[in-house]
A and B are shown apart, each in its own frame.
Chain A
């Protein structure tokens, strides 16, 4: 009996590691930007290129910055959720259109609905680099002082929205 005990223990430990590993997402890289001020930018708006959007304008409010693009497949997944979120009017949602063209972005918003208060155009992806963007969609929760509190990499799911993002937003708004 005893001689089977050691292999069994090793086996169980390995199963434990593998089981945990199965549920980890290697694409989810912890962002060093969480807890830091949102990088400043001044980008032209999608609808009014002569006007610009800057995170400074949002000081004093809790808001979401959603990085998206018309060429991004996973963005289609989360889009209906964003539209629903904007209808609920719980938190202002701003978009950053990443490495995209105006015409395609506008067409996409006409088709799927426009959940954004405004969209900043990051055509060459420079600001995206400042925000550590590597896989659209990405969503940042930014607090009243302009600090990044949470970063969602990949599409927002209903679960993430109701379990993580909304409770966080409510807490930050109460501050």
Chain B
């Protein structure tokens, strides 16, 4: 039964193949759950500078992958979140952070929306006050009162 042997060999070969293929997917570094959690947490805080409206976690840009790897290595060395963020800020500036720190150069960024809202609220109050004054009851003059009565009478 030569054919039988060949079939068996082929089945064995394909099984082995699938085992090898799945073995490749597990990455040794990801075994460390704590490190991976830190990498995930940090990469959601950091901006990918190539595709600026994505975090490093979301981005598939090569630089984002590199940075993730860099973060992973620093995390594996036991560096704190703050130390890793400082490392990247020293190279890429505050822009790399999705939550920029509050300081003189970012004051407008942080307070701008509130200032706009305040301006809007003040504008609204002023407008409402003015409108209130416009429709305030004014006693009708005798002529006006007669006109009103005439019009009303005509209608009914």
Residues of A within 8 A of B (CB): 26-27, 29-33, 99, 124-126, 129-132, 134-135
User: Which 9 pairs across A and B sit closest by C-beta, in order of nearness?
Assistant: A134-B49, A132-B91, A32-B93, A29-B95, A132-B92, A125-B66, A134-B63, A134-B50, A29-B93
B62 at the interface (CB under 8 A from A): yes
Residues of B within 8 A of A (CB): 49-50, 52, 62-63, 66-67, 70, 89-95
B83 to A: closest C-beta gap in Å: 16
Q: Which of B50, B52, B67, B95 makes the CB contact (< 8 A) with A129?
A: B67
**In whole angstroms, what is the CA distance A31 to B90 when docked?**
9
**In whole angstroms, what is the CA distance A27 to B95 when docked?**
11
27 contacts between A and B (CB under 8 A): A27-B52, A29-B49, A29-B92, A29-B93, A30-B93, A30-B95, A31-B92, A31-B93, A32-B90, A32-B91, A32-B93, A32-B94, A33-B91, A99-B62, A125-B63, A125-B66, A126-B70, A129-B66, A129-B67, A130-B91, A132-B91, A132-B92, A134-B49, A134-B50, A134-B63, A134-B92, A135-B49
Report chain B residues within 8 Å CB of A33.
91
Known contacts A26-B52, A135-B49: A129-B93 contact under CB 8 Å: no
Q: Which of A30, A32, A99, A129 makes the CB contact (< 8 A) with B89?
A: A32
Assess whether A32 is in contact with B92, with CB atoms less than 8 Å apart. yes
Closest to A132 in B: B91
**In whole angstroms, what is the CA distance A92 to B93 when docked?**
28
Report chain A residues within 8 Å CB of B89.
32
Report chain B residues within 8 Å CB of A126.
70
**In whole angstroms, what is the CA distance A124 to B91 when docked?**
17
Report chain A residues within 8 Å CB of B94.
32
Closest to A31 in B: B93
Assess whether B49 is in contact with A129, with CB atoms less than 8 Å apart. no
Closest to A33 in B: B91
**In whole angstroms, what is the CA distance A166 to B91 when docked?**
25
Given A125-B62, A129-B67, 12 other A-B residues pairs in contact with their CB atoms under 8 A: A26-B52, A29-B49, A29-B92, A30-B93, A30-B95, A31-B92, A32-B89, A125-B63, A129-B66, A131-B91, A132-B92, A134-B49
B64 to A: closest C-beta gap in Å: 10
A152 to B: closest C-beta gap in Å: 16
Report chain A residues within 8 Å CB of B95.
29-30
**In whole angstroms, what is the CA distance A142 to B13 when docked?**
59
Assess whether A132 is in contact with B50, with CB atoms less than 8 Å apart. no
Known contacts A29-B95, A129-B91: A135-B50 contact under CB 8 Å: yes
Report chain A residues within 8 Å CB of B91.
32-33, 129-132
Report chain B residues within 8 Å CB of A32.
89-94
Report chain B residues within 8 Å CB of A124.
66
**In whole angstroms, what is the CA distance A65 to B49 when docked?**
21
**In whole angstroms, what is the CA distance A140 to B54 when docked?**
26
Report chain B residues within 8 Å CB of A129.
66-67, 70, 91
A125 to B: closest C-beta gap in Å: 5
**In whole angstroms, what is the CA distance A155 to B91 when docked?**
20
Closest to A30 in B: B93
